[in-house]
Structures are given as structure tokens and as C-alpha cells.
Amino acid sequence: MRKFNSFEEVDSLTDAEALEIIERQFELLKGLGEHGAVGLDDHGDYLYAAITNYATLFDAYWYNDGQNPQFLDAVKAWLREPFDEWLGSDGEVRFELFTEEMQEAEWERLEAQFKVESEKKL
């Protein structure tokens, strides 16, 4: 699976890649479920993220009968959600889909935005 360098590159997502993303999110969910440490705080966060993300992707597929462009558009929208809205990092397959450089740039952008918004409140 290729890695995206920007949110704009998500526009070129193919049907096969969208299906692979669902499969990878399911494997992540399955692996976390098999881990057996659900009572641990971080593990619970990761498991919740994995369940929520898989449910979102599966719902997009099921609701649209796996048909383009609705299914593909739903996966693209999910991929484009701002990083600060993503859930527990180890429950997110999205972190594997974007380059480290892109992720760092996006976090820097969000931190700068937060700083500006915080200063406006003062």
C-alpha cells in the first residue's frame, strides 16, 4: 500500500486501495482484540479507535454496496479527517497511510492554529 504525501493525494485513491484499507483496519482491530489486555487504559483507547474506525469504513462499504463513487468518496472523506480528530494512535491505520513528513507538517499546522486560537482568547 502506498503512502500519501498530502490530503490532496487521497483524490487518487483506487477501489482496490480502499478495500485494502478496510482489510488493514480489520486486521488491526483483530490483533488488538486478541491481545487480551482490554482493561489497560491505553489498550482500551486503541481498541475503541480500531472498533470505531472499522465500523465507519464497513458502514461506508455496506451502505453503498461497495459501489463507486459513493464508497470511494466515503473512504476519502474518512482519510481527510483532521489529525486532531483521529482516535487512539495504535487503533488508527491512517497513521500508516501518510508519510512521516506529511504527518509532522500537519501536526505543526495544527499546533500553530491552536496557538493563534489560544492567543485570540486572551
User: Model confidence over 79-107: pLDDT tens digits?
Assistant: 998 877 777 666 678 888 999 999 899 88
Give CA separation, 2 vs 18, 79, 122, in Å.
12, 14, 43
Give the helix ranges, DSSP H, for 1-122. Answer: 15-35, 41-63, 70-79, 94-97, 100-121
Residue-range definition of the domain harbouring residue 85: 10-96
CA distance to 32, 34, 40, 50, 87, per residue, from 45 (Å): 11, 15, 9, 9, 8
For residue 107, being part of any structural domain is answered with no
pLDDT band at residue 36 under the 50/70/90 scheme: low
Give the model's pLDDT for residue 90. Answer: 64
Q: What is the pLDDT of residues 39-74, one digit of tens each?
A: 556 667 788 888 888 898 988 888 777 666 788 889
Q: Which three cell numbers stand for residue 30?
A: 483483530
Indicate whether 80 belongs to any domain: yes
- Return the closest-CA partner of residue 71 out of 81, 62, 82, 84: 62
DSSP 59: H
Q: For residue 101, is it within any domain? A: no
Q: Average pLDDT for residues 1-19, to the nearest whole number?
A: 92
Question: What is the tally of structural domains in the chain?
Answer: 1
List the single range of 24-28, 82-86, 100-104, 108-112 with lowest mean pLDDT.
82-86
- Would residue 52 count as lying in a domain? yes
pTM given for the model: 0.78
In a domain, 54, yes or no: yes
pLDDT band at 16 (very low <50, low <70, confident <90, very high): very high
